[in-house]
Amino acid sequence: MILAAADPPFTAAWALPYNTLVVAAGVASVGFAAGVVGSFAVLRRRALAGDAAAHATLLGVGLAFLAGGGRRDLPLLLAGALAAAIAALGCLVLIGRWTRTRDDAATAIVLGVSFGAGITLLSGITARGVAGSAGLEQFILGHTAGLTATDARMLGGLSLLAVCLVIMFLKESTLVAFDPSFAAASGWPVTLIDYGLVVLVALMVVVGLPAAGAVLVTALVVIPPVTARQWTDRVGIMLPLAGLFGLVSALAGVAVSSVVPRMPTGPLVVIAASTLLTTSLLVAPRRGGLARWLSARRTVAAWAEGRLLEIALRLEGAGPFTREQILARAPGAAAASAFRRLVRGAALEPVVVRGGGHAWRLAARGRELAAERTRRLAVWTEVLEAAREDARGQLTIDVPSPESILGAARLKSIRESAAAARGGPGPT
């Protein structure tokens, strides 16, 4: 249903044929599912096994192509890809169990040899000029231009299935990913669940083949979850967020690729996903680089101000002090700017001195701040005595407010138990 050509230009730009919309929806769901399933692969530290499976899919595609008599029938080719992916994972297990070869070398072996076999097969097919073989190359780096609406619907359906499975077995997957020995002791079939997860990753790898190609599809499975982890500390939010990032990456890659026809889709999807990751690493609250840098600066600033206030309190006894006097006792670059901030914030006020010089003393506001700092230190000392492990790591040099760090309820209970311990029969 193409929108009427009489529309104004800017809506005409969004006038997309139905086919394209379906393909876009299919690719979007693939990206979403890849992010969701990939989250567990990343949490379980199994990212690399997926890479070996992905490189093996080429061989499966070639064999399925031959078995199907040369038809380019996407479901058939993907079925072959899935079989090859699972076989590759099986080889990894066998190598681990029967030889001395270590994990990393085993992955490299399965990856390189299966990919080589795939290339050999595809090249042999192409060299013999088998009809329809030209399209097979697209599975290496991904090319969505040839996707039909039917194909897209199938991919979308498989993606939906994968996401449903993850949601259904969310608690089991989280348990096994987090603490496999506890899960095993509780009676869960850890190996079975693990294999299930790995097969699901293989499925996603296969489903992602048209979009990203064998070589780069694991990036679609690995990068969005890593991105999502920067934004949240909870599995329940990480999963849909990873799905969202995967969806955006896949769509962006496909969109750009459709504008530049000769470019394979895979690399574009990966670049989109990496851009999201880089941005998140910088910008994400708390974990992001920017946030941490700002927070570190704030801590240093607050610390410097606190020190100056302390020194000012001490110097006050001898009357107003000069800027040089106070800064002499507070070495460090932060002190000068802290002084300026205190003045601006009316914590220090100028005093006119005989002889026309400038001197300073603590203003009322400054006394308040100093008193607050002393109070905080006293409360922290109580906390240290009563519940050291709560203070450890939380009491930073800028002496933050205990109420905001620990929470009012927790602080109250700590202080109560500290008071009980003091008023009781003796130190515990």
Distance of alpha carbon 253 from alpha carbon 239, whole angstroms = 21
**Using a CB cutoff of 8 Å and minimum separation of 24, what contacts does 121-127 make?**
121/58, 121/59, 121/62, 121/63, 121/66, 122/58, 122/61, 122/62, 125/62, 125/65, 125/66
Site string for other proteins, 18-57 (x = CB under 8 A): ------------------------xx-x-xx--x---x--
User: Is residue 109 involved in binding other proteins (CB under 8 A)?
Assistant: yes
User: Is residue 115 involved in binding other proteins (CB under 8 A)?
Assistant: yes
In the set 6, 9, 131, 234, which binds other proteins (CB under 8 A)?
Answer: 234
User: Is residue 66 involved in binding other proteins (CB under 8 A)?
Assistant: no
**Which stretch, 157-165, 216-224, 307-315, 339-347, contacts other proteins (CB under 8 A)?**
216-224
In the set 113, 291, 327, 421, which binds other proteins (CB under 8 A)?
Answer: 113
Cβ neighbours around 58 below 10 Å, total? 29
Give whichever of 50 and 156 is closer to other proteins, judged by the CB atom. Answer: 50
User: Is residue 291 involved in binding other proteins (CB under 8 A)?
Assistant: no
Distance in Å, CB of 18 to other proteins, minimum: 29
Q: What would the two tokens of residue 125 be? A: 């097919």
Distance in Å, CB of 288 to other proteins, minimum: 9
Distance in Å, CB of 202 to other proteins, minimum: 16
Dihedral sign from CA coordinates of 406, 412, 414, 415: positive
**Which stretch, 25-33, 217-225, 298-306, 352-360, contacts other proteins (CB under 8 A)?**
217-225
**Which stretch, 118-126, 145-153, 198-206, 369-377, contacts other proteins (CB under 8 A)?**
118-126
Site for other proteins in 143-202 (CB under 8 A): 168-169, 171-172, 174-175, 177-182, 184-188
